[in-house]
Structure 1
């Protein structure tokens, strides 16, 4: 009887261990899929140069966040929620990605729902520092404006020129500026720890002190291609 109980306990422990390992592998796969989706969004952005992010904005970008399939659902009170990734410019290229959440709410008589891809561009050193905090309220903690599209920003407004974050959404394959005032960007610490380990901080990742993992190398490489800059810009963003 004792031997039977010991065997049963051993089997249960082994089963639990396998289940935990399988669950962890599933979580990592979901994160890899999220990075791949963000990579796809950027590639599609690269394919629309005349309607994409202006080159002068791309050159001074300090951080780039991508939220694939940002969901908006509403019935009287609207809710917005999305999961994405962010990378920041360092003195030696772009950092490994960290994971974020974007949440918000809107009020009014409305119904229905939709999903869109979002891109947030940090354009100042302050934008970089804000992303190292627990959460950032767009339009509150950091100024935000709908981003312009095209090859240059020669006709941009003062609001665009002074914004810490510029925001874009995709609709039917075309990117355009979008108003995300009031939305909140959170660190997704659970996903970040699952991907890198519990001892890796946001600051360490976004400052460029964490190696880029193979599963996110294509994303970082595409960011580097799309948001290239002169040495002066890169050094100023470090």
Structure 2
């Protein structure tokens, strides 16, 4: 069930104990656990399961949980995690992200939106170093093929930087113009890992050690992609 909710000097400085105030750390742990549950649910349902051939080429995975609500002008707010495949074929620690979207158009009701983004190259995840990454704008994004279709995935789809898998829950009605984004959340990651390192180091270095609570998600992603 989901549980909602340069270099040597830099290394020396960032290894200092983290003391800045942040949101409750337990909340960030729950976000990681929720993202693991979301991915498990996607893979358990043939209608949303990501094909093995897509997972094997994945260079990054983002799992997002968002809530959209509003009347006339809707706002979608949420959070997620990103993991990247490193050059040695291991997966990084999960790093926390913020996620959002502004919509213009008729918005009635509210819905929870669960999404999985598959990055098919090594360049796209690094766009998050620039604070915000606009999905479908900064890199082309298309709906990913489903395992249930049993169709061979064409080369054009495999070369698309972002493949999107999405599942909606709740009630929502409206036609809207959307521009969704992902954003690094350095404060949350400092709190989660008790470190002063930020997104680049968490994803691409071994300077931050995994905490026990993130290991199940790491193991699950490894099992899916290898």
SS where residue 31 of structure 1 aligns? helix
SS where residue 72 of structure 2 aligns? strand
1:125: Cα distance to partner?
1.5
Q: Choose between structure 1 and 2: higher helix proportion.
A: 1
Pick aligned residue for 1:75 from 71, 75, 87:
71
8 Å CA contact 1:138, 1:181 repeated in 2: no
8 Å CA contact 1:75, 1:110 repeated in 2: yes
8 Å CA contact 2:120, 2:158 repeated in 1: no
1:213 aligns with 2:211: yes
Task: Tell which deviates more after alignment, 143-152 or 105-114.
Answer: 143-152
1:162 aligns with 2:159: yes
1:186: Cα distance to partner?
0.3
Task: Find the aligned partners of 2:125 and 2:106 in 1 and give their Cα distance.
Answer: 36
Provide TM-score, normalisation by structure 2.
0.78
Task: Find the aligned partners of 1:78 and 1:107 in 2 and give their Cα distance.
Answer: 7
Match for residue 120 of structure 1?
Answer: 117
Task: Map residues 21-32 of structure 1 onto 2, 5 A cutoff.
Answer: 27-32=24-29
Superimposed CA distance per residue, residues 111-156 of structure 1 (whole angstroms, 9 cap, x where no aligned partner): 1111121111111122122233321111221111111211666255
Task: Tell which deviates more after alignment, 161-170 or 70-79.
Answer: 161-170
1:72: Cα distance to partner?
0.9
Match for residue 103 of structure 2?
Answer: 106
SS where residue 132 of structure 1 aligns? helix
Superimposed CA distance per residue, residues 147-191 of structure 1 (whole angstroms, 9 cap, x where no aligned partner): 121166625583x3332111111246xxxxxxx962111001110
8 Å CA contact 1:66, 1:85 repeated in 2: yes
Task: Find the aligned partners of 2:218 and 2:112 in 1 and give their Cα distance.
Answer: 24
1:211: Cα distance to partner?
2.0
Instruction: Select the structure of larger CA radius of gyration.
Output: 1
Summarize the Cα distance change of 1:181–1:221 in structure 2 as closer, same or farther, 3 Å threshold: farther
Task: Find the aligned partners of 1:142 and 1:135 in 2 and give their Cα distance.
Answer: 12
SS where residue 67 of structure 2 aligns? strand
1:35: Cα distance to partner?
0.8
Superimposed CA distance per residue, residues 48-100 of structure 1 (whole angstroms, 9 cap, x where no aligned partner): 356411111101111111113x1111211121111111111111511111110
Task: Find the aligned partners of 2:178 and 2:204 in 1 and give their Cα distance.
Answer: 26
Structure 1's consecutive aligned runs of 4 or more residues displaced over 4 angstroms after TM superposition are none
Stretches of structure 2 that go unaligned for 5 or more consecutive residues are: 1-18, 170-176
8 Å CA contact 2:102, 2:178 repeated in 1: no
1:141 aligns with 2:138: yes
Task: Find the aligned partners of 1:163 and 1:155 in 2 and give their Cα distance.
Answer: 12
Match for residue 33 of structure 1?
Answer: 30
